[in-house]
Structures are given as C-alpha cells and as structure tokens.
Amino acid sequence: MADGTHWIAGEAVSGGETFANAPVTGAAGHFPKGKPALVDQAVQAAEAAFAVFAATTRSERAALLDAIADEIEARGAALTAMSMAESGLPEARLVGERGRTTGQLRLFARHIEAGDYLDRRHDPALPDRAPLPRPDLKMIQRPVGPVGVFGASNFPLAFSVAGGDTASALAAGCPVVVKGHPAHPGTSAIVAEAISAAVLAKGLPGGVFSMVQDGGVEVGKALVTHPLIQAVGFTGSLRGGRALFDLCAGREVPIPFYGELGSINPMFLLPAAVAARGPAIGAGWAGSLTMGAGQFCTNPGVSVVIDGPEADALVAATVEALGGVSAQVMLTDGIADAFRAGAATMQKMADVVAGTPCDGRQVTPWLLQVSGAEWLANPALAHEVFGPLGIVVKVKDEAEMAAVAAALEGQLTCTLHLDAADHPLAATLLPHLERKAGRVLVNGYPTGVEVADAMVHGGPYPASTNFGATSVGTMAIRRWLRAVCYQNMPDDLLPLDLQ
C-alpha cells in the first residue's frame, strides 16, 4: 500500500498530488489527495446505485455485511501491521478492534434479517366507517439515499471506513461515500478494498461504496454539501463537527448531520461508596482515564466527590495508580500537541495534583483539582481535553453535587459510584443525569462501549448533534431511514417488506 488508493465505485484510483502518513515506526507511505471532483464522482455513482440497493432484500444486505466481515478478516495481518504503524496502538488493541468491527457488521446482518427495525404498521381500510371511511394505511421505514461518512481518528477500524456509520447505513440500504481520515490512510485503503471486494462479489453496483482519501477541508465540504448526499455521519472534535453541522443545516435542502462530538463523561462518587472503597474507585478511575492514552470519547475526565478525608484518600490512590503509567504514544503529533495545549490551559484554572511534562508524540497523565464552587463559576473547566487528563471536583455537600449535575452540558455518559446507602442521593441526581447523557452507568467506568441492541452512544448537544440517535448498537440503523406511509397502495407496488 505504499502508493495508496481511493476506491471509487469498485475501482482503485490513484495518481495526482499526494500526502504522506506519519507512522510511529517504518517509512512513511504516500497517498493520493482527495479532490472535490472525486467526491462528485463517488456520490454520482452512489445515487446511480441507490434504487437497486434500496430494493435488495434484507437477506441480500445481510449477506453483504457478512461478506465485508469475511474480507476484513482475510486481510487481518496486513491491517494490524498497517494500523500499528500509523496509530501507535498496540497489537492486542487492534486485533480486538478488528473483532469489534467484524462483530458489529454481523450483528447488523442478524438484526435486519429479523426485520423489527422496519417498525411496520398497518391500519386496515374501514370503508363503512361513519361519518367518513378510513383508507388502507401501511407504514414502513425506507432508506434515505446516499450517505456521507467521515472516518474517525481514535478507532482506525471500528469508527472509520467500515465502522458503525458505514455498517448501519449499508444495513439500511443506503450507499455510502467515506472520507478517509488523514491519520490512517493506509489502513483506510485496505479496509476500502475489502468492502469493495465484497460489494462486487455479491453482484451489487460498485457505487454502493466508495472511499475518497483525505484532501483537506474542501473535500469534507464537498461531501456534506453535495446535493445528492441525504445524511452524514461523523465522529470527531466539537469544532470540526460543528462546522460540518452548520454546512448541512445551511444547504438549500438541509440534511441530518449525525455528529458524535466528544464528552467529559463525569463520574459522581457518592459518600457511602467512597467510604467503603474509595481507594479502589480511584485506582479504577486511573486505569480508565489512561486507557489508550485517554483517546476514547467515553474517557472519564471528571470525578465529583464530597470533600473530606475519604475524598483525600481516593485522590491519593488515583495519584499512586497514575504514577505507574508510563508515557504513551498518541494517535498523531497534532493530537499530542493539542493535549499539551489543553493541559496547560487547565493548569491555569485548577490545582495540579499529579503530572509531568512530556514531548513529541508521547504524553503522560495529569490530575487536577478544583472546588465545587470553582467548577460552577468557570464553565471553561468543563471543556474536553482529549487525552489522559482528569479533574477532581470536590464539592462541599450533596446539594452542591446536585448543582454540578444540573449545570452539566450534554454528555455521552454519566456514572454513579454508589452503595445501598447512597440510593436516596442517587435518586436526586438521576433526574439531572438522564437529561444530560445517553448512557448512565452504575459502579463502572464508561470506557468500553458494548455493541448491542440496547446501547445508546450519543447524548444532548454538544456530546452529539442528534440527541435521539446512537452511533453504536442496532438502533444506529434508524438514522438512515425515514417513515413512508402508503395509502390504498396495490400490494404488488409496495416494498417487498410490506407485501
């Protein structure tokens, strides 16, 4: 893959101006830059393929998803080697992530075969009803059309070219055009080859899937503003996601933008739990905070605890556990630089409890501390710093803890650490937390998002741009569907799933 490729409607496309990746090990590869003209070519092919793909049976689309999983697994060794070089992530993590990627493809396949996601409804005609007859009404969910997807930086497999956005859109019957992420173009090209091979092996039009390598802001803009693109999926920063969201909303015909934009994922550590096992909670927090160099959208960046000796013991245990964490490689030099800048900004507003400077692509964890009053008075403390940085918020009492919960912005997750004696306080906090987050956990850590029917990976803005949607789990398919009602439609003209 030294020269890289785009994959446009089943064909490898290279040539023209190139850019280099930045591997942690080995020589850099060179990859063709994406261009708006390539985006247009891919989207036109997707539109041409839509009618055929939308008319496929659920079994046919399930077979495609299974075939994509098979093709990815067949390229497992090459994918792991390329991903390790580009991302700096360890082999075990990437092997696990590949399993998650193929697993969610197969989960979506089984889900659409069952058919429940179609939400089919039928109100039979009542021709003799008075004073007016009722027509025959049938409703079903139908695919929206070609979908644009942006690969994410922190999961080069599970949230990128064949990630949940692509898998769920294909499951829904929507052709997909992916903009590859510049952090892992080699990985993206291998996965795009795998998807394209599966599409063609199943006899489907090549336009069902395309991937254009990164080419800067203009390529992303061309994708979200193309008049044939009907919805967009994105996982990334608040700044980048908001810019794309505004472009989608500003189109002559606005379209949905399903952006997952990050979160600080606060944990509320309740008094009885802290008294019983505070040091264990602190050590567990340190492990979750530094997992993958803190590069998870569910990284628990804040812990809220009532001030006192038990809180001090918890903080001491967290510091001790963080002291055993060596410098970690971040996904890109830019992400490492942004982490250091964010940590420096936070250190001007909060007390440093632990942390040491680090240069280059490596970073070390930081732990900071503020009072509840300081937290509530300074909204800037709640800004996400992507990486292993945690803030302890020491509140004076239960009322101030509830005030912190009420003041939160939208989150992907909120966590309660509690024992039985904490249930009354938890009941006070829950009405706030369930309004703020898509997932509320008890006695756990939010890193690790199960791909399952009941999972919600989304939340109120700014965690995501559509609070009723999820980018993980089978409900993700619903983002790429819309309800259509058929009135008095002859049976042979209905979609197959309504006949």
pLDDT digits (tens, 9 = 90+) for 289-300: 999 999 999 999
As a whole number of angstroms, the distance between CA 197 and CA 252 comes to 36
Q: Give me the count of residues in the chain.
A: 499
Band (39; pLDDT cuts 50, 70, 90): very high
Peptide bond just before 462 cis, omega within 30 deg: yes
Q: Which amino acid is at 248?
A: C
Q: Which amino acid is at 113?
A: E
Q: Which amino acid is at 195?
A: I
Catalytic residues: 260, 297
**DSSP class of 194:** H
State the pTM of this model.
0.95
List, as one string, the DSSP characters of 347-366.
HTTSEEEE-----TTEE--E
**Quick check: 146 and 47 in contact, CB under 8 A?**
yes
- pLDDT attached to residue 94: 96
The three-point CA angle 244-249-251 to 5° equals: 100
- pLDDT attached to residue 3: 54
Peptide bond just before 131 cis, omega within 30 deg: yes
**DSSP class of 464:** B
**Quick check: 141 and 119 in contact, CB under 8 A?**
yes
Would you say residue 435 has pLDDT above 80? yes
138: nearest Cα among 491, 480, 478, 481: 491
**DSSP class of 161:** T
How does pLDDT run across 107-146, given as a tens digit for each residue?
999 999 999 999 999 999 999 999 999 999 999 999 999 9
Would you say residue 357 has pLDDT above 70? yes
Name the helix (H) or strand (E) containing 74.
helix 58-74
Per the prediction, the chain carries an average pLDDT of 96
